[in-house]
Structure 1
Amino acid sequence: MQLIYAESAAILLGFALHGLLPGRAFSGVLLLPAVAGAACAIVWVALTWAGVGEGLLIWAASLGAAVLSAAGLGVPLRRSRRRTEQERLAAVA
């Protein structure tokens, strides 16, 4: 049951990262929340299978993985898309 709450928190953190990270116009609104939700679910289930009880450790690891994976994907992706767009605009001009 707590997985549902953790997923909701991870998705909300993904939306927050979408707004906070630079280059918001270079990625879709749902990309970072989807990545954060997937990372949270994977870590939560892995720790559950490993026998870690429901407590602070599983919450911190799952939400930490959500934030790190969304930011780790969002920043380089947006830089790459910005650079690609600038190159294409320079080729046209």
Structure 2
Amino acid sequence: MANSLKSAQFLMESRLSSTGWESAEACFDLGVAYSCGTGGKPVDLIEAHKWFNLAALRGSEEGQAMRAEIAEEMTAREIAEAQRQARAWIASTQLRAA
């Protein structure tokens, strides 16, 4: 069990430290991690929705499907917050790239 937790933590850290949302796969993996509570992280549907949204924006059909699935468990306010965070993430990555 300890090895799987270390592996999950490594995945999280590598995905977060990468260029962020350039890879649909990386975004999708982060969405899964936050929706399931992988790597010792608590389940965070707002954060998961944000990452699935970013994956969907990069063309991931799985990201679209998972975003819709977890949205069914969220309030309108939570979805709006997740969308706000996704827009903020995009803006911050564009500023870093400039």
TM-score normalised per structure 2: 0.30
- Larger RCO: 1 or 2 (CA < 8 Å, sep 6+): 1
Structure with bigger helix share is: 1
TM-score normalised per structure 1: 0.31
Larger Rg: 1
